[in-house]
Amino acid sequence: MDYKTNYEKWLNFEGLDSTLKNELKGMDEKTKEDAFYKNIEFGTAGMRGVLGAGTNRMNIYMVRKANVGYAKWILEQPNGKERGVVISYDNRHQSYIFANESAKILAGFGIKTYIMESLRPTPELSFAVRYLKCAGGIMITASHNPAEYNGYKVYDDTGCQLIPEWADQVTKYVNEVEDELAVKVPDEDEVYDLINWVGEEIDRAYYDAVKSCEINPGLDKSDFKIVYSPQHGADNWPVRTVLKELGYDIVPVLSQCAPDPDYYNTKSPNPEVASSYDEAIKLAKRVDADVIAITDPDGDRLGVVAKHNGEYVLMSGNQSAAVYLEYILSQLKEQGKLPTNAVMYNTIVTSDLGELVARSYGVDVEKTLTGFKFIGDKIRKYEKTGEKQFIFGYEESYGCVVKDFVRDKDAVQAVLLAAECGNYYKKQGKDLIDVLNELYAKHGTFKESQIALAKAGVEGAKRIAEIMDNLRKESPKEIGGYKVTLAEDYANSTRSDGSVIDLPKSNVLKYYLEDGSWIAARPSGTEPKCKFYFSIKGKDAADAASKTEVFQKAMMAAIGE
C-alpha cells in the first residue's frame, strides 16, 4: 500500500482521533509521504518516533498494534498471562495515554497488568519487572530525544530489553496486524480486574536497593555538595530521596524539577548536549557545589560536571565511567572484596580507557553491540553459569549500571556513585578531573567525540544507507594520514584480517588506526542520524584534540559531507 492510499485510509476512518484527523487535513504532500511511506519500525529498542498522525509516527493506533504483537509473545512465556506485565511511563506528551492503552490491550488478551500510578524512570521499571516477578515490562519513553518524540520499549522477565532474537518474534506478530485502525480496545470495565495500580511499595524497595550500592557507607558527607537537575524528567524524586536519605547535601535546580513535556526551562533534555547544563552550572557557582549531575527524561542516563581548579568541567560518558571504575575497583581491592572472576561490560563504540582500567585490576572485559540489552543479556548468561561475576557495565552515551538488580542503564545508581566518588576523592584533596588525569598519565590520553549527521525523511534514510554502502564498497585504507590497520564490518561479521566477529549482526563499521585510535560509523537506532564515533589516542590532551579535528575532517571528506 503506497503512502497516498494509507493517508486516505486514515483520513476516511470514522473513529479516528479528532486531533489526528485535523493534523491529517493540514498536511502538505511531503509531510504525507513521510508520515505514511512506511510503518514506524519495531526493532530491538522497541519503537521511537515523532508524535503525530500516520503509520510512521507515534500515536495510539501504532501503540495498540505494537501491544498486540507483544501480548502474543507474552502468552508464549511460561505462565505469561498470570505473571503479567508491568508498565511505566515518563513525562512526555501522551505517555500516560500510551501506558493506559497498553494496559487495556494486554488485559484484553487476559494478561495481568501492573501500571505505575504516576511517572517513574526506566530503571525502576526494570527493577519492578524483577520485583513483581512479571513475564515482561513496557516503558513509554523517548529517552533523551527532543520533546516532539515518544517511544515504546519492551522488556523480558529479567528486566532487560528484548534481545534481537526475541524482538524479532514480537516484530513478526506486530507485522501480522494488517490494520492498526481495527485493533479492538476493551472497555476498562471489561478488564478492570486485570489492571493493577502500583507505586509506593516498589519505590521503597527500589530506593533501598540503590542505597545498597554505596561502597563506603560510613564516609562523612558533611563537606560535599551536589547540584542536581532531572531535566523535567522522571528521576526527580528517586534521586533526591535516595541522596537525602544517605545524608548528602543535594541542591536541586528547581526550575527544571517539574515534569514538563516541553522541557520549557532547559535548552536540551539530553546530557550529551553541553547547553543542557547551563542552569545547573549557574546554580553550582552560586552555592559552590563540588559536582553537578543531570539525568535525562526517563532517568537512565547521567551527565556529570566536576569542579576543577575553580572551573566546572563537563565529563564525557567515557571519562566519568573510567573514574567510576577506578573508584569501584580500587575500593573493592582495598576491602578484599574484588572477585577473582569479575567481569566488566562495555560496547564496541566505547573508549579503550575503561578497559585498560579494568584490566589493570585483573578484571575481565567483554564488549557488546551498542544497546544496553546486550549488557543485560551478558549478565543473565553469567548469572546462570556462575562463570563470571558482574562488576560494572556502561556505554559511552552516559549510561551505566552498578548493581544488577536493574538490567538497564540506571542514572539513580549513577548519581549515587558520582556523589560518592566526588566525596571520597575530595577528602584526598582531589576532584574527579584530577583522577581522570591520573588515569591518562597511567594508561594514555584519549579524546572521544561524536558527529551525528541528521538526515530526516525519505531522502535522509536513503542518504544514510548510501553512506554506509559506500564505506563498505570502498573501505578506507588511511584516514587523516594514518594507516587503517584493521577494519571491522559487524553487518557481515567480518574483519579485514579474515577473522570472524562473534557478535550479533549489526550495521556498524569500525576502523582501527596505526596510532592506537579508532573510528566507527553506524546509523542511529532511535533517530534519523548517521553517527560517527572517534576515540583518538594522543601523547597528551593537546595532541589528542588536534588529531581529533584532523580525523573528523578526513572522515567527513571520505563520505562526501
For residues 99 and 153, give the distance between their C-alpha atoms in angstroms, rounded to a whole number: 11
Flag whether 217 is in a domain.
no
Instruction: Write down how long the chain is.
Output: 561
Flag whether 213 is in a domain.
no
- Looking at 145, 168, 202, the residue that finishes a domain is 202
Give tens-digit pLDDT for 151-194.
999 999 999 999 999 999 999 999 999 999 999 999 989 999 99
pLDDT over 90 at 457, yes or no: no
Question: Is residue 143 annotated as part of the catalytic site, yes or no?
Answer: yes
For residues 414 and 408, give the distance between their C-alpha atoms in angstroms, rounded to a whole number: 12
Flag whether 411 is in a domain.
yes
pLDDT over 70 at 466, yes or no: yes
What does DSSP say about strands 389-395 and 342-347: parallel, antiparallel, or unpaired?
parallel
46 pLDDT tier (thresholds 50, 70, 90): confident
Residue 547, CA distances (Å) to 342, 442, 552 in order: 35, 20, 9
Percent pLDDT > 90 in the chain is: 95
- Looking at 443, 463, 489, the residue that finishes a domain is 443
Residue entry with cell 501503540: 63
Flag whether 454 is in a domain.
yes
Q: Which of 37-51, 369-383, 535-549 has the lowest mean pLDDT?
A: 37-51
pLDDT over 80 at 1, yes or no: no
pLDDT at 355: 96
Mean pLDDT within 536-545: 94
Whether 242 and 130 map to the same domain: the answer is no
Whether 55 and 14 map to the same domain: the answer is no
Strand partners, 518: 512, 535
Give tens-digit pLDDT for 309-356.
999 999 999 999 999 999 999 999 999 999 999 999 999 999 999 999
Strand partners, 298: none
Whether 15 and 161 map to the same domain: the answer is no
pLDDT over 80 at 43, yes or no: no
Flag whether 212 is in a domain.
no
Whether 262 and 376 map to the same domain: the answer is yes
Angle between helices 200-211 and 411-426 (to 10 degrees): 30
Angle formed at CA 69 by CA 531 and CA 301, multiple of 5 degrees: 35
pLDDT over 90 at 387, yes or no: yes
pLDDT at 269: 94
pLDDT at 44: 64
Whether 460 and 323 map to the same domain: the answer is no
**Which of left, alpha, beta for 253 (phi over 0: left; psi -120 to 50: alpha)?**
beta
DSSP 476-544: -SEETTEEEEEEEETTTTEETTS-B--S---S-EEEEETTS-EEEEEE-SSSSEEEEEEEEEESSHHHH
Whether 24 and 51 map to the same domain: the answer is no
Give tens-digit pLDDT for 239-254.
999 999 999 999 999 9
Whether 178 and 56 map to the same domain: the answer is yes
Whether 317 and 255 map to the same domain: the answer is yes
**Which of left, alpha, beta for 319 (phi over 0: left; psi -120 to 50: alpha)?**
alpha
* Residue 170: all three cell numbers together: 514480537
> Exactly one of 126, 143, 268, 320 is catalytic; which is it?
143
Say how many domains are in the chain. 4
Whether 227 and 107 map to the same domain: the answer is no
pLDDT over 80 at 526, yes or no: no
Angle formed at CA 477 by CA 471 and CA 478, multiple of 5 degrees: 105
- The CATH number that applies at residue 478 is 3.30.310.50
Phi then psi for 48, rounded to 5 degrees?
A: -155, 135
Residue 454: other Cβ atoms inside 10 A = 11
- The CATH number that applies at residue 434 is 3.40.120.10
Flag whether 267 is in a domain.
yes
pLDDT at 65: 97
Whether 384 and 420 map to the same domain: the answer is yes
CB 198 within 8 A of CB 114: yes
Residue entry with cell 547535601: 249
Structural domain including 28 reads 1-33
Flag whether 214 is in a domain.
no
| Mean pLDDT score of the chain | 96
Flag whether 259 is in a domain.
yes
Whether 51 and 178 map to the same domain: the answer is yes
pLDDT at 524: 84
Whether 553 and 494 map to the same domain: the answer is yes
pLDDT over 90 at 528, yes or no: no
Residue entry with cell 558527529: 451
- Looking at 443, 477, 506, the residue that finishes a domain is 443
For residues 559 and 561, give the distance between their C-alpha atoms in angstroms, rounded to a whole number: 6
pLDDT over 70 at 378, yes or no: yes
- Give the pTM: 0.95
Mean pLDDT within 475-497: 95
For residues 109 and 59, give the distance between their C-alpha atoms in angstroms, rounded to a whole number: 21
